[in-house]
Amino acid sequence: MSAHVVTPVASSLAPLVAWTAIKNQLRRELGEKEWEGWIRHARLMRHSEARGKYCAGLLVCMPRNGSVIFRGMRHQPKMNRLARKLELEISLCVQPNDGQVEQWRVEKDFQVTYLEPAPSELWRQG
């Protein structure tokens, strides 16, 4: 059984709405090839509240697929330009494997959660 959890809480709604808006705008600006290549596979993992001079952040996770990761990283500046309009900053990470998830849970009391369900079949691999 996978240790990955989706957190369906009301506090997750605003970041999820913002992330969905960013993904939709990326789709409009970059087209269907980029949508199929990486945008639709990106998954909102966490959000952080704004603190002091730092804006709120979204941690967006990419599935363990080299092409998807490369394409997402290549467009991270565009993602952040869109996010800044919503007073957000986006950080990218790669989907942790089950061994990492368990290690973080045991050693750091850190539960890997996602704020949205798996958006594509790439999340069902590994």
Q: How confident is the model at residue 104 (pLDDT cuts 50, 70, 90)?
A: confident
pLDDT of residue 43: 92
123: closest CA among 67, 82, 73, 64?
64
* Encoded tokens for 22: 């960013």
Do the beta carbons of residue 113 and residue 10 sit within 8 Å? no
By CB atoms closer than 10 A (0-12, 13-18, 19+), residue 44 is: buried
Q: Write down all domains in the chain, each with its CATH number in brackets.
A: 5-120 (3.30.300.180)
Q: Higher-confidence residue: 13 or 60?
A: 60
Q: What is the mean pLDDT of residues 43-53?
A: 78
Average pLDDT taken over every residue of the chain: 83
* 3-state SS class at 23: helix
What is the pLDDT, as a whole number, of residue 9?
37
Q: Is this structure's pTM higher than 0.85? A: no
Candidate from 4-8, 25-29, 71-75, 98-102 with smallest mean pLDDT: 4-8
